[in-house]
């Protein structure tokens, strides 16, 4: 995800954006290679939606440069939008139309001669296109928004929280569709709050914090840097203090009382299992880190770097 990557579909270089005194983007730089499925993570206010609005030409940056297909995201936004499918975080639709009428309206605007792919997607997502949109639930609106974004088979698909309001079954259907999209050489930028979602579908991830990139890494590397949650319960609490003192260095103990030990493990699983094999353990629970834990890990590392005078 080097900003200078020649095969990149999206290139962002030193991008800045302010809303009054609030800094939304603080000189961020990253890129997306062709055919990638990139997860775009960050808490509310991190700058994700601002970045997406700049890429889609709805917002002008204050500095730096953003290009899509080597075209300027602001000056050449009309040409870019012909080749992009976009699902905003808040889908707005014409309530008086049926789903089918909305599809045909969007298709005509894009110069499409048929709606075969839209109807295929509707069948896959189990959406009735003959119902008026005013009668749609939030999940149905989300499905229609996805159909409108994907039906013209765009070269770049930008999805802002695409699985919001979708049930788990429909989420899996969408994941399969997105894998098919990238298998055909198309590119996907998926903004999400869900680490499990990004891990399930994405090749790589960019994490924003306060308008800056704090992590840019393949998904397979992401877990290596994050600690797992460990919860152990023992048959007896008499030797708990001694057990705690014997813990491997990779285990950071956060709580140790009432026959229970809780902590975070950051190391090879073999070392943890070898230590546990020698202990009178009655229950073991090991959980992957959640999104908040991962963020805090990256943020702590970034803060330490900034505070290090070397």
Dist. CA 78–CA 84, nearest whole Å: 10
CB 146 within 8 A of CB 129: no
What integer pLDDT is reported at residue 74 of this predicted model?
97
What integer pLDDT is reported at residue 103 of this predicted model?
97
Alpha helices in 188-290 (DSSP H): 195-201, 219-222, 240-245, 269-276
Instruction: Tell me phi and psi for residue 223, to 5 degrees.
Output: -70, -30
CATH number of 8-223: 3.40.50.300
CATH number of 227-288: 3.30.70
The CA-based angle 105-109-114, given to 5 degrees, is 70
Dist. CA 40–CA 52, nearest whole Å: 10
What integer pLDDT is reported at residue 196 of this predicted model?
75
Dist. CA 183–CA 177, nearest whole Å: 10
What integer pLDDT is reported at residue 258 of this predicted model?
86
> Strand, coil or helix: what is 208?
strand
Delimit the domains of the chain by residue range.
Answer: 8-223, 227-288
Residue 296 parent element (H or E): helix 291-307
- Segments of the chain assigned E as strands: 8-19, 22-33, 37-41, 63-68, 71-72, 84-87, 156-160, 187-192, 204-209, 212-218, 228-234, 251-257, 260-265, 281-287
Q: What is the mean pLDDT of each run of 10 residues along the chain (310 residues)?
A: 72 96 95 96 87 96 97 97 94 96 96 94 97 97 98 97 93 96 96 81 90 87 76 85 89 90 88 89 83 60 46
Dist. CA 43–CA 298, nearest whole Å: 13
List, as one string, the DSSP characters of 118-147. HHHHHHHTT--TTSBGGG--HHHHHHHHHH
> Strand, coil or helix: what is 28?
strand
């Amino acid at each position: 995800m080097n900003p200078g990557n020649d095969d990149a579909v999206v290139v962002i270089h030193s991008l800045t954006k302010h809303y009054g005194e609030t800094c939304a983007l603080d000189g961020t730089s990253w890129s997306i290679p062709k055919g990638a499925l990139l997860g775009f993570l960050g808490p509310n206010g991190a700058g994700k939606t601002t970045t997406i609005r700049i890429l889609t030409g709805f917002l002008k940056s204050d500095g730096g440069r953003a290009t899509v297909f080597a075209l300027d995201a602001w000056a050449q936004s009309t040409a870019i939008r012909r080749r992009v499918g976009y699902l905003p975080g808040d889908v707005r639709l014409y309530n008086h139309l049926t789903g089918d009428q909305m599809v045909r309206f969007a298709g005509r605007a894009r110069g499409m001669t048929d709606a075969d792919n839209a109807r295929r997607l509707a069948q896959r997502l189990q959406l009735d296109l003959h119902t008026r949109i005013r009668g749609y639930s939030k999940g149905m609106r989300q499905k229609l928004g996805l159909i409108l974004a994907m039906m013209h088979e765009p070269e770049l698909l930008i999805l802002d929280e695409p699985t919001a309001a979708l049930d788990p079954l429909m989420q899996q259907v969408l994941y399969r569709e997105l894998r098919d999209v990238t298998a055909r050489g198309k590119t996907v930028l998926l903004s999400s709050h869900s680490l499990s979602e990004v891990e399930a579908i994405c090749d790589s991830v960019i994490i924003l914090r306060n308008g800056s990139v704090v992590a840019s890494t393949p998904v397979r590397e992401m877990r290596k840097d994050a600690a797992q949650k460990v919860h152990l319960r023992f048959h007896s609490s008499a030797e708990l203090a001694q057990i705690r003192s014997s813990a491997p260095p990779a285990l950071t103990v956060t709580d140790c009382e009432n026959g229970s030990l809780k902590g975070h493990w950051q190391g090879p699983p073999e070392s943890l299992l070898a230590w546990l094999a020698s202990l009178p353990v009655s229950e073991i629970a090991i959980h992957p880190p959640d999104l908040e834990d991962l963020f805090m890990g990256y943020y702590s590392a970034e803060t330490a770097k900034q505070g290090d005078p070397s």
